[in-house]
Amino acid sequence: METVTKNFQEKILKSNDKRFLEKIFLKARNLTYEKFGKKINFYYTSTFFPPISITGKNCALDCLHCKRKLLDFMVQAPNPKILLEKCLRFWKKGAKGVLISGGCKSDFTVPLENFVDVIEKIKSKTGLFILAHTGLLDYKKAKMFVECGIDGVALDVVGSPETTQKIYGVKIEKEKYVESLVSAKKAGFKVISPHVCVGLHFGKIKGELEALRIIASIKPTMIVVTALMPLPETPMKNYLVDPLDVAKIAALARLMFPDVPITLGCARSKGKIREEIEKQTFLAGVSSIAIPTKKIYEYVKNRGFKTEFYGACCGVPPNKKFRLKKPIF
């Protein structure tokens, strides 16, 4: 799968040489043209594909970058009955899918096993596309989740155990991620969408390249690159990621996985830096951008790119079932 040597991957990551990086980004972008055409997909979640927390606002962890605040942005469905009601309501209003997420237990798993019966019911009644944040997986759980009707799995992969220890408060070794990905593959999820959060280690690059190498233990459906989002009222509210670092990881993902769609995920900063991350990662070859700013939409249009719009979580591949007629700003 890899088309670039490990030494060259590291050279890209460490480089501050503008001309060298421009050449690399161009190579990555050209590879995207070749494989996916001169087209950018834009994703919008909102009511088309709502994120739902099955633990409400509860989480056994207390990650430094989140402090459980991410759960505030989700629809709360802390028991199977509420999950069923909410999913039926979303489906009747036109949702095409849901992201089932939530807080974690102390072993970095999301307690989905308590919801498998209701998920099976939701799937058979609505046909909604179900993407889940599972946290770490073993084969038995992965199989159970596939069998109850979960279509896809989204998993944050962190390449540095030191980062998971410092930020999540749990040391997660590489082998655990490999086991999760291989189990997901073996169990037969339709979509396996690993995420790499650039700058999770206090805004700096640390285990992101290793995360891509871990992901290479399988062929993922797609890779989502996100950027540390400084959330108010968390100890990491002042840590910003360098847009160039996000672009380097996007380009590395493209070069290491030439056939796999690379998406800039919705989790990233606001304001000017958001626009800069979008522009740099576009230049570095991403094929999709979630919740785009108007600026990036105009930028790619002005460069003659075809644009398509999808009402879905950025962790699922573009599919006509999710297609929208026009952008939303």
Token pair recorded at residue 94: 């036109």
Distance CA 309, CA 289 (A): 10
For residue 194, list its beta bridge partners: 155
The label of the residue with tokens 């930028």 reads: 299
Distance CA 153, CA 144 (A): 13
Taking the complex as a whole, how short is the minimal distance between the CB of residue 227 and ligand SF4, in angstroms? 15
Q: Between 59 and 146, whose beta carbon lies closer to ligand SF4?
A: 59
Q: Between 17 and 62, whose beta carbon lies closer to ligand SF4?
A: 62
Q: Between 71 and 187, whose beta carbon lies closer to ligand SF4?
A: 71
b/e per residue, 91-130, with b = 16+ CB within 10 A?
Answer: beeebbbbbbbbbbeeebbbebeebbebbebbbeebebbb
Distance CA 80, CA 94 (A): 21
Q: Between 238 and 302, whose beta carbon lies closer to ligand SF4?
A: 238
Handedness of CA 165, 167, 169, 174 (dihedral sign): negative
Taking the complex as a whole, how short is the minimal distance between the CB of residue 43 and ligand SF4, in angstroms? 21
Q: Between 61 and 187, whose beta carbon lies closer to ligand SF4?
A: 61
Q: How far is CA 19 from CA 23, 205, 255, in A?
A: 6, 21, 18
Taking the complex as a whole, how short is the minimal distance between the CB of residue 62 and ligand SF4, in angstroms? 6
Taking the complex as a whole, how short is the minimal distance between the CB of residue 214 and ligand SF4, in angstroms? 19
Taking the complex as a whole, how short is the minimal distance between the CB of residue 250 and ligand SF4, in angstroms? 22
Q: At a CB cut-off of 8 Å and minimum separation 6, what does 296 contact? A: 275, 278, 279, 282, 289
Q: Are 309 and 301 in contact (CB under 8 A)?
A: no
**Which residues sit at the interface with ligand SF4, rule CB under 6 A?**
59, 61-63, 66, 68, 70-71, 103-104, 168
Q: Are 29 and 262 in contact (CB under 8 A)?
A: no
Q: Are 128 and 122 in contact (CB under 8 A)?
A: yes
Q: Between 127 and 235, whose beta carbon lies closer to ligand SF4?
A: 235
Taking the complex as a whole, how short is the minimal distance between the CB of residue 231 and ligand SF4, in angstroms? 9
The separation between CA 117 and the C-alpha centre of its own chain, rounded to angstroms, equals: 26
Taking the complex as a whole, how short is the minimal distance between the CB of residue 197 and ligand SF4, in angstroms? 10
CB atoms within 10 A of CB 79: 12
Q: Between 29 and 67, whose beta carbon lies closer to ligand SF4?
A: 67
- According to DSSP, residue 235 is labeled T
Distance CA 139, CA 182 (A): 8
Distance CA 44, CA 85 (A): 23
Taking the complex as a whole, how short is the minimal distance between the CB of residue 29 and ligand SF4, in angstroms? 32
Q: Between 135 and 261, whose beta carbon lies closer to ligand SF4?
A: 135
Q: Between 66 and 137, whose beta carbon lies closer to ligand SF4?
A: 66
Token pair recorded at residue 273: 């830096």
Taking the complex as a whole, how short is the minimal distance between the CB of residue 121 and ligand SF4, in angstroms? 26
